[in-house]
């Protein structure tokens, strides 16, 4: 298929062996690339009930047909694995440059299985055989120092996926850092890489160009898309000027900005950590991913430390969710999470779980107190190094809360900590959390775009009417975006009609919007039956109890709870699933899904 190299690099760490594996055309046409292709390969190759930290678990990194072309925001790529945090399917994507240069080295993806006996890293260089190099001197280093050392060894022009101490120590909220400042952040994927004794994957020197079916037509479509990105307010000004943290004031005003472990939805002090404050006080320069005209990233300096971000979710999780409104403290904690390789969302929400346990008298640790700025950085270090209370926080909020018989204090779905939108203030998003295959994720089906930002049309955020139908559409759409692979933010300006035109010009295959949505539906259903096989079912399609029976007491979302059960029944019907939330056999046949 044009737009792809049509092959993966398969790495067997048990035997230090590399193989080039072709990907059948029919699989590429049915799953495209990125998330979809990763999910397909994992479902075929991974036996049931494997412990996620077992060497048999796989890490599957993959790009899509857009990668390395002129399509705007094509620099992202995907990771699929089985999560040690949720014990289910996990998909993630990251930006920067690694995915494009992996493709330029001749591979659409890298499939890593097995485990090394000693720490090492993989080097993939264009025109040369991949090799594994010893990395005992890198083990224990933070991600920033590791990248610097790798550049000393392999040359400055490299891109690298790296784990920090958290991944090495198998912390279940560990991330894989992409060039030290971007992340495959969620689901404990860094622990999977750590369990394989794999410190890094390095790419360099690739020069293969993407073969495009009709470059003239693609150029024409891209010009129209770029003009659209330049005129839509969010992509023209909001994200470029303020970054993702522009959301802080908006979500707080709506009374759905989670405070103190989702116990409140509004606090007037939130403006102190807003995107406007970051832009004025911390930002040094803007930066962006490969081929990105939006450039929402921020290089910042906070006190005597500097780094990237914090993004919206990070500034919330490490700030107001902990009762902290000091921008320097929040930013420095964010930098440390990146250096140690820790997911900022799960980190912050698991810490806030501990703070609520402390508040309820179930835990005796003075450092875990809402508003305590002096201990936050030390807690992050303890998580990374598995020391003291950090041992329990690093297991994630579900296991942490269960240890103290207080499950209601864990703000998660399927084991994955919830992000910075209180579901009581956005009912469609609440249903999205509950039914997300990877757990507590807002991006799987971003209903907030409709309920809050009126893109493309404003709908009542408190009504249940039509929400299951719209959510299914958004979830299928996101699955195809993640498989193409393209940035979510491009979707504020562009739609599936643009994506279908790009894909047709690149591949020469007659994709249209309905075909893309069918592919998205196929991917979502395959993920679902993978989870069912692993014991994740209807009982897990739910929310923490406080969202179902405890209304918010202040702010613009005051008095609301989530009427989940009625929406869930309708959602299963729209999906073509049975009353237990399992895809029906006729649906699987229609979508050409075969799964053992």
Please enumerate in sequence order all residues whose Cβ is within 8 A of that of 119, keeping only pairs 6 or more positions apart, or say none. Answer: 134, 135, 136, 138, 139, 197, 198, 199
As a whole number, mean pLDDT of residues 422-448 equals 96
* Average confidence score pLDDT of the chain: 96
Confidence of residue 136 (pLDDT cuts 50, 70, 90): very high
Confidence of residue 243 (pLDDT cuts 50, 70, 90): confident
CA-CA distance, 95 to 211, in Å (whole number)? 22
Examine the pLDDT at 594 and tell me if it is beyond 90.
Answer: no
Confidence of residue 21 (pLDDT cuts 50, 70, 90): very high
Alpha helices in 189-255 (DSSP H): 189-195, 215-231, 233, 239-242, 247-253
Give this prediction's pTM. Answer: 0.96
What tokens appear for 414 in the block? 């399927």
Task: Read off the pLDDT of residues 101-117 as tens digits, 9 standing for 90 and up.
Answer: 999 999 999 999 999 99
What is the predicted pLDDT for the residue at 238? Answer: 87
What is the predicted pLDDT for the residue at 241? Answer: 87
CA distances from 493 to 71, 73, 148, 231, 298 (A): 13, 12, 37, 8, 21
pLDDT more than 90, % of the chain = 92
Task: Count the residues in the chain.
Answer: 596
According to DSSP, residue 423 is labeled G
- Classify strands 305-308 and 297-302 as parallel, antiparallel or unpaired: antiparallel
Residues 17, 129 contacting (CB under 8 angstroms): no
What is the predicted pLDDT for the residue at 85? Answer: 98
Examine the pLDDT at 456 and tell me if it is beyond 80.
Answer: no
Examine the pLDDT at 283 and tell me if it is beyond 80.
Answer: yes
Residues 230, 236 contacting (CB under 8 angstroms): yes
Alpha helices in 417-495 (DSSP H): 427-435, 448-451, 467-484
List the helix and strand counts (H, then E) for the chain.
Answer: 25, 17
Paired residues of 93 in beta bridges: 78
Examine the pLDDT at 87 and tell me if it is beyond 80.
Answer: yes
Q: Residue 325: phi, psi to the nearest 5?
A: -125, 20
What is the predicted pLDDT for the residue at 595? Answer: 79
Q: What is the DSSP string of 328-342?
A: HHHHHHHHHHHHHTB
As a whole number, mean pLDDT of residues 47-59 equals 97
Task: Read off the pLDDT of residues 385-424 as tens digits, 9 standing for 90 and up.
Answer: 999 999 999 999 999 999 999 999 999 999 999 999 999 9
Task: Read off the pLDDT of residues 521-531 as tens digits, 9 standing for 90 and up.
Answer: 999 999 999 99
395-400 long-range contacts (CB < 8 A, ≥24 apart) are: 395/172, 395/173, 395/350, 396/85, 396/172, 396/173, 396/188, 396/346, 396/350, 397/346, 397/349, 397/350, 397/353, 399/172, 400/350, 400/353, 400/354, 400/357
Please enumerate in sequence order all residues whose Cβ is within 8 A of that of 280, keeping only pairs 6 or more positions apart, or say none. Answer: none
What is the predicted pLDDT for the residue at 268? Answer: 96
What is the predicted pLDDT for the residue at 237? Answer: 87
What is the predicted pLDDT for the residue at 205? Answer: 92
Examine the pLDDT at 340 and tell me if it is beyond 90.
Answer: yes
What tokens appear for 470 in the block? 């719209």
Residues 48, 534 contacting (CB under 8 angstroms): yes
Residues 401, 353 contacting (CB under 8 angstroms): yes
What tokens appear for 78 in the block? 């995907």
């Amino acid at each position: 298929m044009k737009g792809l190299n049509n092959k993966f690099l398969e790495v067997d760490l048990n035997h230090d062996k590399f193989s080039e594996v072709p990907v059948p055309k029919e699989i590429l046409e049915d799953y495209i690339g990125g998330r979809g292709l990763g999910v397909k390969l994992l479902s075929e190759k991974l036996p049931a009930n494997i412990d996620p930290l077992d060497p048999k678990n796989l890490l599957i990194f993959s790009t899509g047909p857009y990668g390395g072309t002129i399509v705007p925001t094509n620099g992202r790529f995907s990771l699929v694995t089985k999560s040690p945090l949720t014990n289910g399917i996990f998909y993630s994507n990251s930006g920067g440059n690694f995915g494009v240069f992996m493709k330029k080295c001749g591979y659409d993806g890298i499939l890593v299985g097995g485990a090394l006996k000693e720490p090492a890293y993989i080097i993939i260089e264009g025109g040369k055989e991949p090799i594994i190099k010893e990395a005992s001197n890198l083990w224990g280093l933070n991600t920033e120092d590791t990248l610097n050392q790798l550049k000393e060894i392999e040359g400055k022009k490299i891109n690298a996926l790296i784990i920090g101490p958290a991944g090495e120590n198998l912390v279940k909220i560990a991330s894989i850092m992409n060039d030290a400042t971007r992340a495959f952040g969620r689901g404990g994927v860094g622990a999977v890489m750590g369990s394989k004794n794999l410190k890094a994957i390095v790419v360099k020197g690739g020069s293969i160009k993407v073969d495009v079916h009709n470059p003239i037509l693609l150029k024409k479509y891209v010009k129209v898309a770029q003009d659209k990105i330049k005129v839509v307010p969010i992509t023209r000004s909001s994200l470029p000027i303020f970054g993702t943290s522009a959301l802080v004031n908006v979500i707080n005003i709506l009374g759905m900005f989670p405070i103190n472990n989702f116990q409140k939805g509004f606090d007037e002090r939130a403006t102190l950590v807003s995107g406007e404050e970051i832009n004025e006080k911390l930002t040094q320069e803007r930066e962006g991913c490969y081929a990105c005209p939006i450039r929402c990233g921020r290089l910042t300096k906070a006190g005597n430390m500097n780094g990237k971000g914090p993004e919206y979710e990070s500034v919330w999780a490490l700030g107001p969710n902990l009762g902290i409104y000091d921008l320097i403290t929040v930013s420095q904690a964010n930098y440390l999470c990146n250096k140690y390789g820790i997911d900022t969302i799960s980190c912050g929400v698991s810490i806030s779980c501990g703070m609520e346990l402390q508040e309820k008298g179930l835990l005796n640790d003075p450092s875990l107190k809402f508003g305590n700025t002096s201990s936050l950085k030390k807690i992050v270090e303890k998580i990374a190094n598995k020391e003291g209370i950090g041992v329990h926080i690093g297991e994630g909020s579900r296991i942490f809360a269960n240890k103290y018989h207080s499950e209601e204090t864990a703000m998660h779905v399927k084991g994955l900590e919830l992000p910075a939108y209180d579901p009581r203030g956005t009912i469609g998003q609440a249903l999205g959390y509950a039914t997300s295959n990877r757990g507590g994720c807002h991006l799987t089906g971003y209903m907030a775009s409709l309920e809050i930002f009126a893109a493309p049309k404003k709908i009542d955020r408190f009504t249940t009417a039509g929400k299951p139908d719209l959510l299914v559409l958004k979830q299928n759409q996101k699955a195809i975006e993640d498989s193409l692979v393209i940035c979510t933010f491009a979707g504020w300006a562009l739609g599936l009609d643009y994506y279908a035109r790009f894909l047709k010009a690149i591949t020469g295959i007659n994709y249209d919007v309905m075909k893309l949505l069918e592919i998205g539906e196929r991917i979502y259903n395959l993920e679902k039956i993978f989870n069912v096989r692993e014991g994740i079912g209807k009982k897990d399609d739910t929310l923490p109890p406080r969202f179902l029976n405890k209304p918010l007491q202040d702010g613009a979302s005051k008095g609301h709870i989530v009427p989940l059960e009625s929406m869930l029944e309708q959602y299963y019907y729209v999906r073509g699933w049975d009353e237990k939330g399992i895809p029906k056999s006729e649906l699987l046949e229609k979508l050409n899904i075969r799964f053992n």
